Amino acid sequence: MNHASDSLAHHEGNLDPVKAGMITFLASESAFFGTLIMVYLFNLGTAFEPEREPYTPGKMLDLPLALPGTICLLLSSVTVHYAAKMLAQKKDAAFRLLWLATITLGIVFLGGTAVEWRDMIHAGFNISTNLFGSSYFTLVGFHAAHVTVGIILLTLVLALSRRTRAIHRHEVFAEVVSWYWHFVDGVWVVVFSVVYVFGR
């Protein structure tokens, strides 16, 4: 028993501080998004009478517009996964290409969100319209903010990769950025399911 405890302590002691910090951060963000999703669902059930309310999920949410962006974001998880593998294998050219593809797919996703929001706002629907508006724009907006942060981090890693020695000195940073991106994608799967599929 003591040997097992000592082994566990040794393993934990060897955990890179950057990785430990990212794990802690992602755990806290999971709780944060979980709370937002619960608030969204609660407000969706009590916010309005659908037959009398002009701004409802069924009327305002554009599933055909949101779906291509969702596909792009899911594909970006594939590209960032293989990019991290290429970096570990010292295949720098392949890494940069896949990493750039991840950034591009993330930007396309944000573009789709921006177009959808523009159409909503033009139709008179915004964060102050009703409880649905407040819940929707808060939940999707915070996710979009996380995607934006992810794109900035991905871009920083790509800039480092222009200098081979620099990127290989910071492989852990690239790895935790890929973790963050997978988290952002995973959260969107839940948000998309709740908002655009089951909540309509």
DSSP 50-116: TTT-SS-HHHH--HHHHHHHHHHHHHHHHHHHHHHHHHHTT-HHHHHHHHHHHHHHHHHHHHHHHHH
What CATH superfamily is the domain 17-198?
Answer: Cytochrome c oxidase, subunit III, four-helix bundle (1.20.120.80)
For 148-157, what is each residue's pLDDT tens digit? 999 999 999 9
Question: Which of these, 177, 2, 199, 21, lies nearest to 103 by C-alpha position?
Answer: 177
For 21-77, what is each residue's pLDDT tens digit? 999 999 999 999 999 999 998 887 665 555 556 788 888 998 999 999 999 999 999
Domain ranges of the chain: 17-198
Section 92-120 average pLDDT:
96
Cα–Cα distance for residue pair 65/44, rounded to 1 Å: 21
